[in-house]
Structure 1
Amino acid sequence: MFSTAYGDVGSSIYYALGLVALIALGATPIALGIAGILFVFTALTYAEGTAMYPEAGGSASFARHGLSDLMGFVSGWALMFGYIVTISISAYTIPSYLGYFWEPLKTSPVVHTATAMGIVFILMMINMIGVRESSRLNLSLAVLDIGTQILIIILALLILFNPVVFWERITSYWPSTPNLIFGVAIAAIAFTGLETVSQMAEETKRPQVKAPRALVLMTIVVLVIFAGISISAFSAMTPAELGSSWATDPVAGIAHNLSAAIVPGELIRGLSEPAHQVVVAYVLEGVRNVLPVLVALLAATILFIATNAGLLGISRLAFSLGRFQLIPAELSRVHSRFKTPYIAIAVFGLIALVLQVPGFFGPDVFANLGGLYAFGSMLSFALAHLSILALRIKKPDLPRPFKLRWNVKIKNRELPLTAILGLLGTGVIWIVVVVMQPYSRWVGFGWIFIGLGIFFLFRRLKRRSTEQPGAWPGETTGSKK
């Protein structure tokens, strides 16, 4: 469970840094730090919620149990939007890394966008037929990914890091206040894939134990890696370079500059033994030649798997929403032969393709996709926090295999402080995105209003209350037996 979740969340390292730098410039580490704090709060909320309700759906499941079917749908629909954007942005950044081998993949908008759309289309077809995740492959790639990033961080700290230069790059490229605020909002994209653990809970043995453990471990690893990569990036290049030339492939930029800085003849001067000099020089030369290639291949592979994971997430979420009658059964219909929700994969996969189309005409598509992700994910996360708080009030005696600490008592109810702060933080970020980015505002609200229209029409035809808390088939309450 950890390896799959890390593959989804960790994949954002390969594009989030450049996207945040595009807006927050020198304040990028601060923006990522603030987003990281909210990530911790949200991961803890998911740990409690998933342990209580180990079913596919994530925040949609929490909202359905804690608030109402309507709020469950809104959360699920926003979450679906987040999956769609994750598919688009993960696929969109793959060609940039493969540009190491063929430059037009990175420099030509037409070639770049066409390749990204082709990746989504191929994976969409594969998922409609049916594909299984390999836990061994996920684990192997997660280990290789973490190992490569640790190597980059260590080399950058030893060869490139200079505290004075690092501080100058922060202060000299300090952004305007609006850009700093929006940069914090966009930094939320650094933590795509948080829902993965909740979506997998129903398919996991002992999810009440494994899900919280995976979420906590993933949080620690991702925060440490992101902190190290941020320092490495600012040691390797200026924020302006990071947010322009290397915006869609920031880790490749680090590897490129690091490789150029590895000069074996200079680095072995401190060694007295000739034999040691030969060995170290040979190793350094190998690292210098291999590192850019390794990063290009590994990043493309991780992002490819993340794109596929988004489509798998859509499958699980569509099935969950359909099972509890939050979306029409047609959308969650399972193919008689392939046993996949092929209509949902086709519909939402095509929307992911449409979101990439602006890439043919200009570079703004990358920042716009980041804003769209923040719109959907922050709305979904805010409702997750609100749902956990509502469940503490409405169902205080409900068994909680993983119960959050640091509670505040209000009217004899213990409310977790992390969920309160998480609700405030994610809510504020969502409002910032709505106010500051017109593209995200209109596309995001358009998505929500279309979804609400489908929901109310569907419920009207079904003659089912929109406020009735969802229940498992055969149940009258919100809890699973």
Structure 2
Amino acid sequence: MVEEVSLKREVGWFGSFSLGYADVGANIFIALGLIALYAAGVTPIVFLMTAFIYISIGLVYAELAPTYPYAGGVQVYAMKGFNDLLGFIAGWALILAYTICISLFALAAAGYFSYFLPQSTSFLTLMGLPPLGFISVIFIATLILINYIGIKYSVEVSIGLVILGLIIQGFVLIPGFFLVFDLSKLLEQLQILGSPKIQNEVAYIAGASINTQNLLYSLTLAIASFVGIESIAQAAEETKRPAKHIPKATKLSIIAVLISVMGFSILSMGSVGWEKISEELEYSVAGLVKTYPIIGGFGAKLVALAGFILCYASSNTGVIGVSRLVASMSRYKLLPRWFYKIHPRFKTPTRTIILFGLIGLLLASFGNIPFVAELYIFGGLVSYLILMLAFIKLRNSREEVYRPWRVPGEISLKISGRILSMPIIGVIGFIGVACLLILTLIFHANGRILGTLWLTVGILIYI
């Protein structure tokens, strides 16, 4: 009998934080201009509303990940709280989100990279791929190699990228409030509730207000700015002292992301306004910094560098997340056991790294950001909905389990003679995620059709 090789604990608390921040912190570089395009002047409020849902998701992971420190995250929690089928659905939805994460953020990184090399466009187009697609293929191939030889090296890459990205963000965000921010401009912008412009991507309902529908659509996009905190949970089995490090890393990630997202959204509305910021979708944050007096030109280049760095780090966490998730599902026999192949030397799930890395590479090669973004949102929301249900269920069905950290605040309800614990954060998170999922199904045609098809295929595979 061949001894089964297991994953190795090599991730410290800052490495864990870097995984969480890298996967979420990069989102603002894609989302700022996009949200402004639909939400108009109330962009900061839209970000704030979805931030409450993000906080609830992060806190739930901060409790569950150290309690059940295994690769798989929500898939494991759903299995322990309910059954294998719900665990499979949660994992299958998250596989979609992680695979899309690889391609989406590699494309975003390629976009910021091309900011420095605009003259390369014609050459890359001649090679048969869109410029962004070609660059992202090279980026993802490099990530596959780094992840193959060990999570230690992969996390070290993320740590280095995140530190540099945070320094640059602080350098450009703080001066902005002194150089260009105008409170009266912000208050004026906050009175504009949704863009009046019709957009091709929205599946509008006839007769309803365009402004209102664009505003609702922006909420579904804004939550994409916060998808990714679960990357910390995916690496739980490889995290040193998970009971201490995971809650700490998760809470720090929440704080850092909120400062970045709210800071840039408030600054943009209090300086250039929603119409200007939405005109430069690919480089919205760089476009904002370009307006700074004296340092604008240099600052814009720094932002483009930070955007490249953090988006590339986010793509890396996608490779880490999907490879660990699929390996976990195969270990629990939810997927073929073939996927659970841990390299005897590198201690990494090499088959899943190669296979799903290549799928992400293929999706990125087409260079279509809006298409992959819709699937990213759908997969994330389905997994978060199951996460909240599993959290509430585990609080009541496995009360005896030791929890290194516990989300505060709960209400006791007496139902059929039994006292049930209803964690307030879990209830708020469930309601919020459910509302966003409904809005996604209404307004995102690609997410509704292809996302539902993905789940259907998965259930058929399971059955």
TM > 0.5 between the two?
yes
1:306-345 pair list within 5 angstroms: 306-334=314-342, 340-345=348-353
- Structure 2 Cα separation of the partners of residues 17 and 106 of structure 1: 25
- Tell me the amino acid that sits aligned with residue 351 of structure 1: I
Match of 1:68 among 83, 87, 107: 83
Match of 1:257 among 291, 295, 299: 291
Deviations 1:435-467 (A, max 9, x none): 2111111111121122222222xxxxxxxxxxx
Would the alpha carbon gap of residues 198 and 431 (structure 1) be closer, same or farther in structure 2, given more than 3 Å must change?
same
- Where in structure 1 are there 5+ consecutive unaligned residues? 263-286, 360-364, 457-481
2:104 corresponds in structure 1 to: 89
- Deviation for aligned residue 1:432: 1.2
Would the alpha carbon gap of residues 3 and 414 (structure 1) be closer, same or farther in structure 2, given more than 3 Å must change?
same
2:442 corresponds in structure 1 to: 435
- Structure 2 Cα separation of the partners of residues 169 and 430 of structure 1: 28
1:157 corresponds in structure 2 to: 177
- Structure 1 Cα separation of the partners of residues 119 and 454 of structure 2: 33
Would the alpha carbon gap of residues 325 and 96 (structure 1) be closer, same or farther in structure 2, given more than 3 Å must change?
same
- Structure 2 Cα separation of the partners of residues 340 and 400 of structure 1: 28
- Tell me the amino acid that sits aligned with residue 372 of structure 2: L
- Deviation for aligned residue 1:77: 0.9
Match of 1:229 among 256, 264, 271: 264
Would the alpha carbon gap of residues 254 and 197 (structure 1) be closer, same or farther in structure 2, given more than 3 Å must change?
same
1:35 corresponds in structure 2 to: 50
SS at match of 2:290: helix
- Tell me the amino acid that sits aligned with residue 46 of structure 2: A
Would the alpha carbon gap of residues 453 and 335 (structure 1) be closer, same or farther in structure 2, given more than 3 Å must change?
farther
- Deviation for aligned residue 1:25: 2.6
Contact 1:152 1:232 in 2 (8 A): no
Deviations 1:63-103 (A, max 9, x none): 11111111111111111111111111111112221233222
- Tell me the amino acid that sits aligned with residue 399 of structure 1: Y
How many residue pairs match? The answer is 424
SS at match of 2:412: strand
Would the alpha carbon gap of residues 160 and 30 (structure 1) be closer, same or farther in structure 2, given more than 3 Å must change?
same
1:284 corresponds in structure 2 to: none
1:51-450 pair list within 5 angstroms: 51-103=66-118, 110-128=130-148, 132-133=152-153, 138-172=158-192, 174-175=194-195, 176-245=211-280, 247-258=281-292, 261-262=293-294, 287-288=295-296, 290-334=298-342, 340-356=348-364, 359=367, 365-411=368-414, 412-450=419-457
1:273 corresponds in structure 2 to: none
Contact 1:233 1:250 in 2 (8 A): no
Deviations 1:119-138 (A, max 9, x none): 22443355446564365554
Contact 1:96 1:106 in 2 (8 A): no
1:474 corresponds in structure 2 to: none
- Deviation for aligned residue 1:184: 0.8
Deviations 1:145-173 (A, max 9, x none): 22322222221111111122223334347
- Deviation for aligned residue 1:113: 2.7
Moved more, 122-131 or 178-187: 122-131
Would the alpha carbon gap of residues 337 and 454 (structure 1) be closer, same or farther in structure 2, given more than 3 Å must change?
farther
The question of 1:44 aligning with 2:59 is answered yes
Q: TM-score, normalised by structure 2?
A: 0.84
SS at match of 1:36: helix
- Structure 2 Cα separation of the partners of residues 303 and 48 of structure 1: 27
- Structure 1 Cα separation of the partners of residues 116 and 101 of structure 2: 25
Deviations 1:263-305 (A, max 9, x none): xxxxxxxxxxxxxxxxxxxxxxxx4554233222232122222
- Structure 2 Cα separation of the partners of residues 320 and 357 of structure 1: 28
- Structure 1 Cα separation of the partners of residues 323 and 453 of structure 2: 22
Contact 1:105 1:112 in 2 (8 A): no
Would the alpha carbon gap of residues 106 and 404 (structure 1) be closer, same or farther in structure 2, given more than 3 Å must change?
farther
- Tell me the amino acid that sits aligned with residue 303 of structure 2: V
Would the alpha carbon gap of residues 454 and 340 (structure 1) be closer, same or farther in structure 2, given more than 3 Å must change?
farther
- Structure 1 Cα separation of the partners of residues 103 and 163 of structure 2: 25
- Where in structure 2 are there 5+ consecutive unaligned residues? 1-15, 196-210
- Structure 2 Cα separation of the partners of residues 304 and 119 of structure 1: 8
Would the alpha carbon gap of residues 198 and 131 (structure 1) be closer, same or farther in structure 2, given more than 3 Å must change?
closer
1:450-461 pair list within 5 angstroms: 450-456=457-463
- Tell me the amino acid that sits aligned with residue 173 of structure 2: I
Would the alpha carbon gap of residues 104 and 448 (structure 1) be closer, same or farther in structure 2, given more than 3 Å must change?
farther
Q: TM-score, normalised by structure 1?
A: 0.82
- Deviation for aligned residue 1:339: 5.1
